[in-house]
């Protein structure tokens, strides 16, 4: 099997170097914007210093960076190929009989590999840091201007029983989920699948322990019966602290490896898991998306500099990247509204970007 040639390794190195520069610039902008935003929201507290705000910014940054990684490959690729073109290195390569496909495809393969790492490694790390960010931010703002009501709705169940949980406030204490002002509505399923109300439980506090809810100051009332008071009560739970917090988070805040479990538990509880399924499909398509962005960047940058219009063509590539971003958001919104299939919403933007880049390359190379 033939390994990459020196020219291919050189182009890949220049491309990844440019991608690294684009990543550094975009990350710096994200850090600056997020720091200013947090300073405006949290900096009103006199006991919160710059160090705490900067720490929260660092926790939040990976989640924002992964959203913009496709632009990193697009901008980095355009910068690398435009630089090679202006220095006439691409002209020399073509004069030596090297096809554009020989130095574009290795860059796309490397981008694909980085996409796999981004999904399997960066995404779980970003999700974990985002959870830590939410906890630390809540701790910083706790008791400021009084407790702010945070209505929480959870649902758990199996084939026989469904429990709807409502709470007026929540927080996380040393890894345990704690709800305050809790109401539990317990239903059983009839043979036809219809829910039948069985019991209501009120509690001043509910803490999620491994395998069960620990309730305090409890008042139970079955349908058609008087209420019964007890100091404590345990209710079996199919949730753990992580999955409970995932129910309160957006699909983007759940790691790639946890999404299948989130889908199963959500559907088991009787909810629609369309948002989680869409997110999972989008993550699966991410490596191909990065490769498509690398190809698209090359396609908009291979026009010979002596022919003119290179800057305009590169600018059009940047503009197309923003069009792709809005198209991706629009497709996701249509899928969540059950207007188009989830698979189409997840893969259509990636395939459009890939086919656009390949079409432009075929036109440029083969006329």
| pLDDT tens per residue, range 235-247 | 888 776 666 665 5
DSSP string, 51-104: HHHHHHHHHHHHHHHHHHHHHHHHHHHHHHHHHHHHTTHHHHHHHTT--HHHHH
Q: What pLDDT, on the 0 to 100 scale, is given for residue 311?
A: 60
- CA–CA separation, 355 and 112 (whole Å): 16
Coil, strand or helix at 215: strand
Which candidate, 35, 39, 26, places its Cα nearest to that of 76?
Answer: 26
* Contact assessment for residue 256 and residue 277, using Cβ atoms and an 8 Å cutoff: no
Which pLDDT tens digit goes with each residue over 51-87? 888 888 888 888 888 888 988 998 888 888 888 877 7
* Contact assessment for residue 152 and residue 248, using Cβ atoms and an 8 Å cutoff: yes
Average pLDDT over residues 111-126: 92
* Res. 137: pLDDT tops 50: yes
Which pLDDT tens digit goes with each residue over 144-183? 544 445 677 777 777 778 888 888 777 765 556 788 888 8
> Which of 5-9, 172-176, 192-196, 291-295 bottoms out in mean pLDDT, i.e. has the lowest?
172-176
Which pLDDT tens digit goes with each residue over 87-115? 777 777 777 766 777 778 888 899 999 99
% pLDDT > 70, the chain: 80
* Contact assessment for residue 281 and residue 343, using Cβ atoms and an 8 Å cutoff: yes
% pLDDT > 90, the chain: 10
**Strand pairing report for 228-236 and 212-222:** antiparallel
Residue ranges of alpha helices (H) inside the chain are 6-42, 50-86, 89-95, 100-117, 123-141, 241-247, 259-268, 274-299, 310-336, 342-366
Average pLDDT, the chain: 79
Q: What pLDDT, on the 0 to 100 scale, is given for residue 129?
A: 87
- CA–CA separation, 256 and 262 (whole Å): 10
Coil, strand or helix at 162: strand
Q: Considering the entire predicted model, what is its pTM? A: 0.76
DSSP string, 17-51: HHHHHHHHHHHHHHHHHHHHHHHHHHTTSTT--HH
Domains of the chain, by residue range, sit at 6-141+274-366, 159-237
More confident residue, 336 or 317: 336
- CA–CA separation, 272 and 262 (whole Å): 11
Average pLDDT over residues 284-307: 79
Average pLDDT over residues 9-28: 89
- CA–CA separation, 158 and 239 (whole Å): 11
Which pLDDT tens digit goes with each residue over 187-200? 887 777 677 788 88
Q: Which two tokens stand for residue 358?
A: 């390949």
More confident residue, 364 or 181: 181
Confidence class for position 255, pLDDT limits 50, 70, 90: confident
More confident residue, 93 or 277: 277
- CA–CA separation, 248 and 65 (whole Å): 22
Confidence class for position 24, pLDDT limits 50, 70, 90: very high
Please tell me what DSSP assigns to residue 237.
-
* Res. 287: pLDDT tops 90: yes
Which candidate, 202, 34, 60, 51, places its Cα nearest to that of 127?
Answer: 60
Residue whose pair of structure tokens reads 């919104």 in the numeric block: 333
Fold classified for 159-237? lipopolysaccharide transport protein A fold (2.60.450)
């Amino acid at each position: 099997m033939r390994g990459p040639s020196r020219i291919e390794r050189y182009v890949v190195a220049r491309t990844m170097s440019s991608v690294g520069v684009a990543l550094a610039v975009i990350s710096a902008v994200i850090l600056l914007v997020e720091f200013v935003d947090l300073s405006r929201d949290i900096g009103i507290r006199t006991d919160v210093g710059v160090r705490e705000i900067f720490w929260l910014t660092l926790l939040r940054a990976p989640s924002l960076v992964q959203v913009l990684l496709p632009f990193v490959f697009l901008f980095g690729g355009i910068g690398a190929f435009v630089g090679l073109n202006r220095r006439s290195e691409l002209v020399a390569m073509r004069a030596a009989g090297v096809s554009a496909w020989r130095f574009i495809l290795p860059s796309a393969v490397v981008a694909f590999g980085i996409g796999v790492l981004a999904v399997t490694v960066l995404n779980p790390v970003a999700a974990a840091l985002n959870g830590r960010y939410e906890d630390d931010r809540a701790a910083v703002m706790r008791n400021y201007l009084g407790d702010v009501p945070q209505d929480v709705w959870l649902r758990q169940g199996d084939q026989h029983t469904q429990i709807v949980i409502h709470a007026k406030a929540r927080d996380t204490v040393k890894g345990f989920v704690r709800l305050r002002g809790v109401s539990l509505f317990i239903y059983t399923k009839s043979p036809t699948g219809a829910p039948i109300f069985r019991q209501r439980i009120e509690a001043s506090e509910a803490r999620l322990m491994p395998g069960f809810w620990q309730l305090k100051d409890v008042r139970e009332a079955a349908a058609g019966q008087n209420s019964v008071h007890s100091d404590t009560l345990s209710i079996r739970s199919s949730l753990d602290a992580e999955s409970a917090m995932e129910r309160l988070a957006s699909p983007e805040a759940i790691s790639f490896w946890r999404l299948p479990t989130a889908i199963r538990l959500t559907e088991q509880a009787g909810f629609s898991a369309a948002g989680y399924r869409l997110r999972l499909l989008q993550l699966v398509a991410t490596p191909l998306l990065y490769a498509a962005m690398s190809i698209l960047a090359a396609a908009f940058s291979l026009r010979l500099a002596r022919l003119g219009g290179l800057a305009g063509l590169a600018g059009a590539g940047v503009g197309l990247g923003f069009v792709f971003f809005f198209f991706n958001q629009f497709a996701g919104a249509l899928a969540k509204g059950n207007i188009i299939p989830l698979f189409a919403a997840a893969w259509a933007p990636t395939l459009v970007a890939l086919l656009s880049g390949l079409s432009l390359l075929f036109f440029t190379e083969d006329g």
